[in-house]
Structure 1
Amino acid sequence: MSDGSHAIRFEAEVVRFDGPGGWHGVFLPPDAASEARFFGRANTLGAITVRAQIGVTKIKTSLFPDKRRDSFLLPLKAELRGRENIEEGDPITVTLLVDT
């Protein structure tokens, strides 16, 4: 892309995590995780700031490293899930724009 970003598109299943608030997210599949690892600058926690599009909704968020899965987790806030009618177990398509 000419605007200095790189697009990564993937499909993943929404998972729900136990704990306060029961938050939701998706893990990047291996190919997408491999690509994301080389783009953007990780902060001290290893998170990478990205722009994402899910359905018609565009958000600015972060990918968080998951060493057990050798992947990244993309959290999905309740507002986004409500707007896009996303529930646990749904397959969703995500387009990430990672600044290069």
Structure 2
Amino acid sequence: MANREYSFTAELWEWEAQASWFFVSLPEAVADEIEERFGHTAAGFGSIKVKVTVGSSRWSTSIFPDSKRGTYVLPMKKAVRTAEGLTVGDPVEVELEIV
């Protein structure tokens, strides 16, 4: 399976420890497959480079492992949240490509 692209819907949440940092958590099955297939390519802090599409917004970033949640988390920058009209608790439809 050479697929490097994943689609999922996940809830937008704000990191309690660091106000104004917003994320979506990858579904466990997606995170497990990414870890298995691409974990060996991880950079600092276990990050994996990705390209993301949410609505009409596209950008490059990294996903990061979150041991508390047991999955990877995807940061959602303010420009994207504003452009797509997203607030905490909203379902976010994500298309993610491992770079």
TM-score of the pair, normalised by structure 2: 0.87
By how many angstroms is 1:21 displaced?
4.3
d(CA) in 1 for partners of 2:17 and 2:79? 18
Would you tell me which structure has more helix in proportion to its own residues? Answer: 2
Query: Within 2, Cα distance between the matches of 1:59 and 1:82?
Result: 14
C-alpha deviation, 1:17, in angstroms: 1.7
1:81 and 2:87 matched: no
Gaps of 5+ in 1: none
1:93 corresponds to: 93
Aligned length: 96
Root-mean-square deviation (Å): 1.7
d(CA) in 1 for partners of 2:11 and 2:97? 19
SS in 2 for 1:68: coil
What residue in structure 2 maps to residue 11 of structure 1?
9
Distance in 1 (alpha carbons) for counterparts of 2:27 and 2:18? 26
Q: Deviations over 1:51-76 (max 9, x none)?
A: 01001111100001011222001010
> In the aligned structure 2, how far is the partner of 1:75 from the partner of 1:59?
11
SS at match of 2:16: coil
Q: Secondary structure at the match of 1:39?
A: helix
**1:59-78 correspondence to structure 2 within 5 Å:** 59-78=59-78
Deviating above 6 A after TM superposition, structure 1's stretches of 4 or more consecutive aligned residues are: none
- Provide the rounded CA distance (Å) in 2 between the counterparts of 1:27 and 1:44: 19
